[in-house]
Every structure is written in C-alpha cells, then in structure tokens.
Amino acid sequence: MRDIWRNAGAYIALLIVTLVFAVLTPEFRQPSNLLNVLDQSVRIGVVAVGMTAIIITGGIDLSVGSIAALAPFVAASYMAAHGGPHSNPIALALLGLLITAGVGALCGAVSGATITKAYLPPFIATLGMMSVVRGLAYILSKGTGVNEGIPAAYTITGQSLISVRTGAATATLTWAVVLMAAIFVVGHVILTRTAIGRAIFAIGGNETAARLSGLNVDRIKLGVYVAGGVLAALSGLVETASVGVAAPQAGSDLELDAIAAVVIGGTSLFGGRGSLAGTFAGVLLMRLIRNGLNLVNVDSNWQRVAIGSIIMAAVGFDEIQKRRGLKA
C-alpha cells in the first residue's frame, strides 16, 4: 500500500505541474509541445531504468553521463574509419551498436567489480569511473566530435515516426520513444515478475539476509551495474542520433537528472523499494518542469534551483517515511 501511495504522489505532482503550466502558457498545452516533451524524455528515461535497479540494490551510479559520451564516440569513430562505398551500412550500423553496448557494459562491469570485489562504496567507485571515462572521452576525441561517416541505420532512433503540426510548430514522435517504452516494459517485467527482480529488491532490503538465503549478491549487483552501463550507452546513442554528432561533452548532467527522476518517482535511496511506474512519472515530471519553466522564460540557473529543491524534498520525504517505519 505504501508503494502505491508513493507512486500516486508522483503522478499527482505530474498532474498538478501539467495543469499549472497549461494555465500559465498556452504554448505548453499544444500537442506539438507535449510530443516534444515525450521525445526529450528519452535520454533521461533510458538511463533511469537502469538507475532504478541500481538504487533499489542500495547503490548509485554517477558515471552514466560519462558513459553516454564515451560509448557512442568509440562506435562512431570506428564506423567513420571503416565506412566507405564498398561497406554494408546495415552491417556497419549493427557493429556500431554492438560496440556502443559493449563499451557501456565494460564500464558498468568495472564499476560493479570495484564495488563487489574491491569493496569500494558505490558513490566513490562510480565517482571515480565518472572522471576516468569522461577523461578517456576527451583524450580519444581530442576535444572534437564525430559527425561524418555514421550510417543512417545507427541513428534510426532520431528518425521520425509521427509528425504533428500545430500552427507554425511541428513536433515529431521518434523511434527513440518506442525504444524507451520497450525498455520500461521489459524492465518492469524483470523487476516484478522474475526471480532476478525479487533478488534485486531483497539485496536492497537486507543484503546480509539475502546472502544468508543463498543469493549470489555479488553476481547480481555486478549484473545490475553492467545493465546500467549498457542503458547509459544507449542513452548516448539517442543523443547522438538527435544532435547528429558523437561528442565528448555529451551526457552532461545526465546522472543528476536520472537520479532525480528515480527519487522523485518514489524509489528509496536507502534501497529495497521502488518501481519503474514511479520512475516513469519522475522522468515526465522532470521534463515537464524544465519545459514549462523554459516557456515562461525562467533563467536556466533558477531551473537548477527548482530541480535541486525538488530532489531535496523527495529525499527528505523518503527519510521521514523511513524514520516513521523504524519507530513503528
């Protein structure tokens, strides 16, 4: 019942924010704007799925933004170097996708290994990885991005599925939204309908008890971080497809936005509780707030203040609920 209430709170906040901005600015309620909000939610949403599972285990991953920059850059560099008139663009794009996912998986595996084998706290391990991976992205790229030689099939997520025109504005629903929806559905099924999902919740609830019950805690946590790395890499691919360039500065603030969306959606930073239904509401709430504040011409720095305040309020609410549970 508490989890239902936590998710209800996120959706109630989503409804209130939508109504407020719909009243404040007519542009906000235009179908084209709402489609743009959904499309712009993909970059955070894809990462937030993996971040939800990681936080449920009691961990955190600060390296996802850096992975979103490095993985597609490595893939784009390879495709640009090996493409040509005699290459098969579909095969090259598939290989690029495998490289993207592989780099993300490798980064996630390193973070997971340092946490499970070297016993570093998740915050420290992923903070270090954030710096290492971002540094590698700048070293390999020499500060410049790749925008040529990338097959169109690799950037299919940026291609339009539906176009909506309202007045002078045109919005598109891209294949990236389909990708995000599929990832949320698969993630929800895994977390709620499989033994792996139950194990993830058990580890976050009481890791010692999970070990004593026979769960391979280290292997499960390692898998969660690998999955998080792969999803971060896919988020970077989505950004590359959107802007048309694989750049070392991609993924800026992605970790903050993803963590904020997960926490706002009701997942406990202390582990053991959370849902992707709540996370989806948190993702939409984040994007609607930014979109609405942009439309009413609020300075970007004040937007950071607003988002930070929301995060603090969500974590404070979670702490109050935890303390009440301990007293009970």
Whether the per-residue pLDDT at 194 is higher than 90: the answer is yes
Question: Residues 111-139, buried b or exposed e (16+ Cβ, 10 A)?
Answer: bbbbbbeeebebeebbbbbbebbbebbee
Q: Say which residue the tokens 């391990």 belong to.
A: 125
- Closest Cα partner for 205 from 189, 217, 188? 217
How much is the pLDDT for 43? 94
- Model pLDDT, residue 118: 95
pLDDT digits (tens, 9 = 90+) for 91-138: 999 999 999 999 999 999 999 999 999 999 999 999 999 999 999 999
Residue 220 has pLDDT above 70, yes or no: yes
Give yes or no for residue 287 having a pLDDT over 60: yes
Cβ atoms 45, 280 nearer than 8 A = yes
Examine the pLDDT at 315 and tell me if it is beyond 60. Answer: yes
Nearest alpha carbon to residue 158 among 104, 95, 93: 93
- Model confidence band, residue 322 (pLDDT cutoffs 50, 70, 90): low
For the cut 70, the answer to whether the pLDDT of residue 166 exceeds it is no
Task: Output the CA angle 151-154-159, nearest 5 degrees.
Answer: 100
Q: In terms of DSSP H, where are the helices of 30-167?
A: 31-40, 42-56, 64-82, 89-116, 122-141
Q: How confident is the model at residue 7 (pLDDT cuts 50, 70, 90)?
A: low
Look up residue 238 and give its two tokens: 């989505």
The predicted-structure confidence for 52-79, as pLDDT tens digits, reads as follows 999 999 999 999 999 999 999 999 999 9
**What does the pLDDT read at residue 1?**
46
Cα–Cα distance measured from residue 171 to residue 43, given in angstroms and rounded to the nearest whole number? 17
Question: Residues 266-276: what's their mean pLDDT?
Answer: 90
As a whole number of angstroms, the distance between CA 326 and CA 320 comes to 10
Nearest to 126 by CA among 118, 3, 92: 118
What's the confidence (pLDDT) of residue 32?
80
Q: What is the DSSP string of 247-284?
A: -TTTTTTHHHHHHHHHHHTT--TTSS---HHHHHHHHH
Q: In this structure, what DSSP letter does residue 162 have? A: E
Q: How far apart are CA 91 and CA 51, in angstroms?
A: 31
SS3 298: coil
Report the pLDDT value the prediction gives residue 132, as an integer from 0 to 100.
97
Domains of the chain, earliest start first: 2-327 (1.10.3470)
Q: Find the mean pLDDT for residues 176-186.
A: 95
Give 90's pLDDT tier (boundaries 50, 70, 90).
very high
Tokens linked to 152? 């169109």
CB-CB neighbours of 189 under 10 Å: 12
In angstroms, the CA 161 to CA 177 distance is 9
Tokens standing for 215?
A: 């769960």
Q: What pLDDT score was predicted for residue 228?
A: 97
pLDDT tops 80 at residue 328? no
Average pLDDT, the chain: 89
Pairwise CA distance, residues 292 & 295, whole Å: 5
Give per-residue pLDDT as tens, 145-157: 898 889 999 999 8
The DSSP output letter for 152 is: T
